[in-house]
Amino acid sequence: MLVTVAARAICPEVESDLPGRVGARPPFEGMRRAAPWRDTARMAETRSLASLTVPLGGQLIELQEIEHAPGGMALLRVRIREGKRFTVFDIDPASARAWGEAMLAWAERQHAARA
C-alpha cells in the first residue's frame, strides 16, 4: 500500500509506509530540542522526613522534602500507600502549615475529650 498524497503533503520525507531506514537515527532528526528550562539533568532532590503506619487500615504515610533546584522552591511530598495504590501530594509551605495546624487542633480536641 502506498502512502496517500495527503499523507505526503503532511510529511514530505515519507516515501512509503514501509520503514525506509533500520537502525539508529541521527540525534534529534525531525524533533525540536527541549526548551532550556526543561533541562533533565537537574533532578529534584528528596529527603525523607518521617514515615508512619496508620493502625486502622495499615496505610503507610511518608513525608519527604522535595527541592527542585539548589536554593529553589522546597515542597513537602506526602505519599500515602494503600496496598498497591499510591496517593501523592506536593504541598507548598503555607499549605503544609495550614494542614498541619488543622490536624494538630483536631488531635488536641480528641485528646481533651478523652481526658
pLDDT above 70 covers a percentage of the chain that reads: 63
Q: What is the mean pLDDT of residues 111-115?
A: 89
Report the pLDDT value the prediction gives residue 100, as an integer from 0 to 100.
Answer: 95
Q: What is the mean pLDDT of residues 32-61?
A: 79
Q: Is the pLDDT of residue 39 over 80?
A: no
As a three-state string, the secondary structure of the chain is CCCCHHHHHHCCCCCCCCCCCCCCCCCCCCCCCCCHHHCCCCCCEEEEEEEEECCCCCCEEEEEEEECCCCCCEEEEEEEEECCEEEEEEECHHHHHHHHHHHHHHHHHHHHHHC
